[in-house]
Structure 1
Amino acid sequence: MQLKLATLSKATATARPIDADTCISLIKKCHTLKSLKTVHASILRSHLHLNLHFFTNLISHYASLGSIAYAYTLFSYSNSSNDAFLWNVMLHGLVDNAQYHRSLLLYTCMPHLAIAPDNFSFPFLLKACASLRNPNLGSQLHAHVFIYGYSSHMFVANSLISMYAKCGLFAVSKRVFDKMPHRSAVSWSAMIGAYSQSGFHEQGLLLFTRMLDEGIKPNRASILNATACVWRENVAHNVFRVIMDNGLDMDHSVRNATMLMFARCGRIDIARSLFDGFKYKDLVCWASMIDAYAHADLPLKALHLFNQMRLQCLLPDSIILLAVIRACSILASLNQARILHGVIVRCFLESQLVLDTAVLDLYVKCGSLAYARTVFDKMKEKNIISWSTMIRGYGMHGHGRVALHLFDQMKALIKPDHVTFVSVLSACSHAGLIAEGWECFNSMIRDFGVTPISEHYACMVDLLGRAGQLNQAWLFIQRMPLRPDAAVWGALLGACRIHLNVKLAEVATKSLFDLDGENPGRYVLLSNIYASLGKRKEANRFRYLMKSRGVRKIVGRTIIEIKNKIYTFVAGDRSQPEIDVIYLELDKLMGRIRQQGYVPDLSFVLHDVDGETKEKMLYAHSEKLAIVFGLMNLGHESLIRITKNLRVCGDCHTAIKFISKVTGREIVVRDAHRFHHFMNGTCSCGDYW
């Protein structure tokens, strides 16, 4: 930089002519904002005559270095020009710096100055609308595209396809694509991407196949979008063959996408082999593999890989840390959460809202509201997601009234959105706060202009159903302005299981089989209802139906962390090295709680066996085995935390209350829906769950 400035100073001192192109060359060699400002100041002191080309380059470079304020100031000095190129440079800079509203506002000034946008203007503006997820503004821009005669321009049409897809208007994306007189590989990529973003994966793959059949060579973008559409192993191998045939297998981004594609198809082994084959692993590569393990429900492997990365002295970025947080959340390990939180604090000296919120959510899922609230209170800024996460956390732990109190605090500072209301309504449901739930639901449109969506209706059905108001829940569903989805019917079916209402359970199940026929929980719930009522024939019929359709029941398992090691138990487990001792201690413990009044609830054994066998089967549930293992290996004062991947059964819930009483230990159980804090023979849910 000193040499550049010396050259500039010498040229000025000797009165040797220096042109704008030389200045532009100097500007392009500046890699920091400080160096750019220094060169800029020297150029101004030289009193050179600077043309528009110089200003556009200077504005563009300031914007690329993140100084949109300097770029805009320079633009303001030179915006008397009617050159559309200068305006496009400013629009580009604003959009690249996420100044989407300002870019659209600047565009509205162009007609007043008789400056017509061109085919380069609209892609920037449409990207702004896509980022804002604002289809109304996008549609207005689409109209302007027609007015200015760029509707058939390929790059503009590609931007329209992407914008409508990101705004959720997939049908409009397809109309734009179908009306294009000419298409490039970029056009096909945009449309395949639109299918992928809209969840139409099969259609996206069909379009990719059609593109290949028409002899169009796939580019990097079309391959990346196609891999996002793949969810089956055989298709994954076909796409990988196309990648190999077109020489894209060594492209770093394509290799990453391929890795995720195989992981998504259940071939985590192939994903790992691709990962191991990287000559150079950047942070994106590490993040992809860690996230793949987390999504494959292999959190221990994700954490192990993260530790391997740290041993290579690589500093994780926020994307990697978010993937590790996801893995840690699956384990619900408070110890791992605290270690990870320490890493985040050391890596990011300044608070980051996204990471802070993720850590807050992690502590909630690890069963520590105290740590979660500490993170929440220390946050320098809070957005709507932070508030909603903390409210949802209180609801999951059964503190409905605390959640409502926090919601009142939030309303004084920030307007709640649909996510917040899901959190609040869920908190009311878990605590049985019916009147408060109705008030929150009715206030959505009345006070905040938030239109209820399916999730809110599902929360209300759950609220009414848990409270035993099944007829009211059924009437509520019938009066819904939306078509009930699987979440709504699932909430009704769950309530029918609690209150053993076969009639409504059959209604809910019929709709669920049409909407969500691959979900094993639907079959199991209805079968359990029949079995609980002694209707073995009907129960077996649904078990057989599930088997004949190839739907597999999810195996219940419970995990517990002992001295930084994770142990997993399943019902009737005989795999643990101390299993004989565990069962011996379990027998003793069950004898103690029976003396205190515990009576096994045999209705939770769904097999047609004798009473004694049923009792033994109940004793061997994974929750009980994990708790006994914890009692054997944790200190006498230690809190016992276990995590169940399914809903804890009613008999285990009763037994754990007695266990907490006879052992004097606090036991925290996280199941698929909520947390239960057991202490001195009671549970935080108040038996309302």
Structure 2
Amino acid sequence: MARVVVTQMVMQQKLTKFCHLRQQWRLFFSASSPQQQTEFFDPETCISSIKQCQTLQSLKTLHAFTLRSRFYHHHDLFLVTNLVSQYASLCSISHAFSLFSSVSDSCDLFLWNVMIRAFVDNRQFDRSLQLYAQMRELDINPDKFTFPFVLKACGYLRDIEFGVKVHKDVVDSGYWSDVFVGNSLIAMYGKCGRVDVCRQLFDEMPERNVVTWSSLTGAYAQNGGYEEGLLLFKRVMDEGIRPNRVVILNVMACVRKVSEADDVCRVVVDNGLDLDQSLQNAAMVMYARCGRMDMARRFFEGILNKDLVSWTSMIEAYAQADLPLEALEVYRQMILRRVLPDSVTFLGVIRACSSLASFQQARTVHGIIIHCFLGNQLALDTAVVDLYVKCGSLMYARKVFDRMKQKNVISWSTMISGYGMHGHGREALFLFDQMKALIKPDHITFVSVLSACSHAGLIDEGWECFNSMLRDFGVAPRPEHYACMVDMLGRAGKLNEAREFIERMPIRPDAGVWGSLLGACRIHSNVELAEMAAKALFDLDAENPGRYVILSNIYASSGKRIEADRIRALMKRRGVKKITGHTVIEIKNKVHTFVAGDRSQPQTELIYSELAKLMDRIRREGYTPDLNFALHDVEEETKEKMLYVHSEKLAIVFGLLNSGPGSAIRIKKNLRVCGDCHTATKFISKVTGREIVVRDAHRFHHFKDGTCSCGDYW
């Protein structure tokens, strides 16, 4: 209460002072002689008045007064610079730039710096770079105050080419050793993904401050250099540098283990930052990422005055931990406490809905977003497109995409990826051709296109896209692009060509590349290449249980039981546990989860009764169980019974029992869909006349009238 009274008193004092100044202006303009005007309206008073304007209207009024004065004529540059700065601070960039453009003496560096900063502060980064380029064309030399703002714009735009040019200007101007300019260069290169340059700049800097350390830790956090970020933080502590809040926030983003999280939290407490709410919010996400949702929740509950960021961080923490129902429950509690969500909140909610693959939830959230008229609409629209894609509705995704007022490279890539995930490779390529005419694709776009070609068997088109990356767009292939090519060749049965492609790679193959080859070996039962791929994977990705399971199944399906058992034993020795498969289905806004042989549902008896009838029907249509997808150490009859109760089949039968006639059934599997279930579902869609949409860990399958959208090419 006392704070409110003090605030009201301060505001009243400011209002009284402004009214007094306004009265002075009126007296000034009623003065009889120019000499009296000049004596009364001195530069200091004028500049002070400009800086005290808190509204656009008051500033425009004062601006009008100055235009009528003789003082303005003699000191226009001095006044204009302050007017431009104040217009920009009040978010009236159009007035600021109009005034800037009207100045006849346009070679004043300080004025140019003020205008460049105005554009950057108002997030008009393109215009700030255009203005910098214009300044250089006029041979106006930048100084150490110019470069940080221009480099900030380059970083936000991810414009590495312009950033390199500015870097050259920094060196030519002799400001490379300035600590503030150096920090800005590190931040810019970090946002553009060039961590190697960041580290080189850091090592060569003659002087560093705490911002230097925060810039480099931020670069590592943004680009996946988590171990390097933690090592740098250790160096900060060893050198006795007191970390600031930004350094710790960056390091928290690098943490992946509980022990590391505990160490960072001790530093927070030791430096008296444990009451900093932004760090408490970040700690929630950090512990959630490490699998300790109990600790994340404890931080959340410990914040007495939870702000929007606190609620949003908890929602995001649950979403990242693949606990979508808990994330949506926190969102519900937040609304009940009348905390208004923003665009970042909805991005977390959308992520949770995407994880659920709930079409009804997607429709509900999309409706709320439309009615909220939120900012950051581009990011939200793109997220909604992705949401509909992951909920199995390309039609709704394309509607949102077509209605977007703005589209960036992420928007286009999301829609292209959606077509690829749903098996529509030709449509993905057609959209890619449209995109190229409007905007330059980036490395993510090419992953989307190559993946679409891979899943659709478009070999020639995939090669053309891959070869055009560097040739036509200057995008150097990354490991993920090579993995897509190996996947594409492998799926098509060109295993030797895939192996030769790996051998010719100019970079070391990573787990993604070898994983693609191993997956292809599973499809085509190539034991020799599978062993080669698995050997590399057991070194690169030893904690991934899927690698062991695939190799074991390849051995088993090839009749090599001893080798299969050896791989299972290796898993056990290394403490690697197989992920339990489950399938979820949403009926009447409630999510139901099934595992193989599940008997936890109230309708269990009815489900199993209907399942038996359904399996008889599809058998009469020609379905034959594929026993390769059952456990290999049991009798044939037992194998068949185990196949019948896979989680996919149970969820589909539950959907048939509890959804309206003719409606589509949508299920989500956390692993790759079982091959036998894929075959069975084709027959089920035929005998029931129902469309069945299955989302697995990699893509979508649309079953209708006995066929699948993937064309059995998955």
Fold agreement, TM-score > 0.5: yes
1:170 is aligned to: 195
Identity %: 66
Q: Is 1:397 paired with 2:426?
A: no
Give the structure 2 partner of residue 42 of structure 1. Answer: 65
The answer to whether the 8 A contact 1:20-1:51 is kept is no
Per the TM alignment, residue 526 of structure 1 is displaced from its structure 2 partner at its CA by 0.9
1:296 aligns with 2:341: no
- Flag the 1:221–1:425 CA change in 2: closer, same or farther, 3 A: closer
* Alignment partners' CA distance in 2, 1:333 and 1:584: 27
2:30 is matched with: 13
Partner SS for 1:672 = coil
Q: Note if contact 2:77-2:105 (Cα within 8 Å) is conserved in structure 1.
A: no
Q: TM-score, normalised by structure 1?
A: 0.92
Tell me if the contact between 1:532 and 1:606 (Cα under 8 Å) persists in the aligned partners: no
Cα separation, 1, equivalents of 2:424 and 2:139:
61
Tell me how far apart the structure 1 counterparts of residues 560 and 197 of structure 2 sit (CA, whole Å): 51
Distance 2:171 2:57 in 1: 43
Contact preservation (8 Å) 2:423, 2:700: yes
How far apart are residue 251 of structure 1 and its match? 1.7
**C-alpha distance in 2, partners of 1:416/1:63?**
33
Give the aligned partner of residue 576 of structure 2. Answer: 551
Q: What is the aligned partner in structure 2 of residue 27 from structure 1?
A: 50
Say which SS state the counterpart of residue 677 (structure 1) adopts: strand
Letter aligned with residue 12 of structure 1: F
Deviations 1:89-140 (A, max 9, x none): 2232232234445444544566777755433233223323333434454444
Counterparts of 1:170 and 1:427 in 2: how far apart (Å)?
A: 30
Counterpart amino acid of 2:63? H
- Map 1:280-679 onto structure 2 (within 5 A): 280-348=305-373, 352-445=377-470, 448=473, 450-679=475-704
- In 1, distance between residues paired with 2:401 and 2:425? 18
Deviations 1:626-647 (CA, angstroms, capped at 9, x unpaired):
1121122222332211000111
Partner Cα distance (1:446, 1:135) in 2: 18
1:118 to 125, 143, 149: 143
SS in 2 for 1:401: helix
Q: For the residues of structure 2 that align with 1:314 and 1:479, how far apart are their CA atoms?
A: 56
Unpaired runs of 5+ residues, structure 2, are: 1-14
Q: What CA distance in whole angstroms lies between the structure 2 residues aligned with 1:502 and 1:273?
A: 49
Write the mapping of 1:117-266 to structure 2, written as runs, cut at 5 A: 117-266=142-291
Provide the TM-score with structure 2 as the length reference: 0.89
Look up the SS of the partner of 1:48 in the other structure: helix
Deviations 1:368-425 (A, max 9, x none): 1221222223223333333332232222222223333333444444444443333233
In structure 2, relative to structure 1, the CA distance for the partners of 1:79 and 1:558 (3 Å cut) is farther
Paired amino acid for 1:226: V
Aligned-partner Cα distance in 1 for 2:176–2:407: 42
Which range moved further: 142-151 or 368-377? 142-151
How far did 1:324 drift? 1.1
Partner SS, residue 540 of structure 1: helix
Distance 2:133 2:398 in 1: 45
Aligned to 1:97: 122
Structure 1 distance, partners of 2:383, 2:606, is 39
Work out the CA distance in 2 between the residues paired with 1:490 and 1:471: 15
| Alignment partners' CA distance in 2, 1:351 and 1:205 | 32
Shift of 1:144: 4.2
Matched, 1:271 2:296: yes
Confirm or deny: 8 A CA contact 1:364 1:372 kept in the other structure: yes
Counterpart of 2:583 in 1: which secondary structure?
strand
Q: Which amino acid aligns with 1:218?
A: P
Cα distance in 2 for partners of 1:618, 1:113 equals 75
2:93 maps to 1:68: yes
For 2:71, give the aligned amino acid: L
- Separation of aligned partners in 1, 2:476 and 2:462: 16
C-alpha distance in 2, partners of 1:325/1:548?
A: 39
Cα offset, 1:608, TM superposition: 0.4
Runs of at least 5 residues in structure 1 that lack an aligned partner in the other structure: none
Amino acid at match of 1:41: A
Deviates further, 560-569 or 162-171: 162-171
Instruction: Go from structure 1 to structure 2 and tell me whether the alpha carbon gap of 1:381 and 1:88 turns closer, same or farther (over 3 Å shift).
Output: closer
Which of 45-54 and 108-117 deviates more? Answer: 108-117
State which drifts further: 243-252 or 557-566: 243-252
Kept after mapping to 2: 8 A contact 1:351/1:380: no
* Contact in 2 for aligned 1:627/1:640 (Cα 8 Å): yes
Q: Find the aligned partners of 2:472 and 2:361 in 1 and give their Cα distance.
A: 42
Question: Between Structure 1 and Structure 2, how many residues are aligned?
Answer: 689
| Mapped partners of 1:134, 1:439: distance in 2 | 26
Equivalent-residue separation in structure 1 for 2:80 and 2:199 (angstroms): 40
Question: 1 CA distance for matches of 2:328 and 2:112?
Answer: 48
Deviations 1:163-206 (A, max 9, x none): 33333332333333334444332233223323323433233223
Q: Taking structure 1 as reference, are residues 267 and 22 closer, same or farther at Cα in structure 2, changes over 3 Å only?
A: farther
CA shift in 2, pair 1:441/1:230, >3 Å: closer
User: How far apart are 1:489 and its partner, in Å?
Assistant: 1.9
**Equivalents in 2 of 1:571, 1:467: separation in Å?**
31
Q: Secondary structure at the match of 1:566?
A: strand
Summarize the Cα distance change of 1:667–1:141 in structure 2 as closer, same or farther, 3 Å threshold.
closer
* Mean Cα deviation higher: 615-624 or 335-344: 615-624
Gap change, CA 1:593 and 1:313, over 3 Å in 2: same
C-alpha spacing 1:304/1:47, structure 2 compared with 1 (3 Å) = farther
Retained in 1: the 8 A contact 2:342–2:374? Answer: no
Given the superposition, is the C-alpha separation of residues 196 and 394 from structure 1 closer, same or farther in structure 2, using an over 3 Å criterion? closer
Distance change in 2, residues 1:36/1:555 (3 Å) = farther
What's the CA shift for 1:610? Answer: 0.9
Q: Per-residue deviation at 1:39?
A: 3.0
Task: Summarize the Cα distance change of 1:52–1:507 in structure 2 as closer, same or farther, 3 Å threshold.
Answer: same
Contact persistence 1:21–1:54 (CA under 8 A): no
CA separation of 1:187 and 1:467: change in aligned 2, threshold 3 A? closer
Q: For residue 71 of structure 2, give the secondary structure of its aligned residue in structure 1.
A: coil
What is the RMSD computed on CA atoms of the aligned residues? 2.7
Secondary structure (helix, strand or coil) at the match of 2:577 reads coil
Q: Which moved more, 1:444-453 or 1:571-580?
A: 444-453
| Separation in 2, partners of 1:6, 1:593 | 90
Q: CA deviation at 1:443?
A: 4.3
Cα pair distance change 1:482/1:207, threshold 3 Å: closer
* Matches of 1:83 and 1:434, distance apart in 2: 58
Q: Greater CA deviation, 111-120 or 398-407? A: 111-120
**Matching residue within 49, 53, 56 for 2:81:** 56
Q: Look up the SS of the partner of 2:26 in the other structure.
A: helix
State the one-letter code of the partner of 1:122. Answer: F
* Alignment check: 8 A CA contact 2:552 2:567 kept: yes
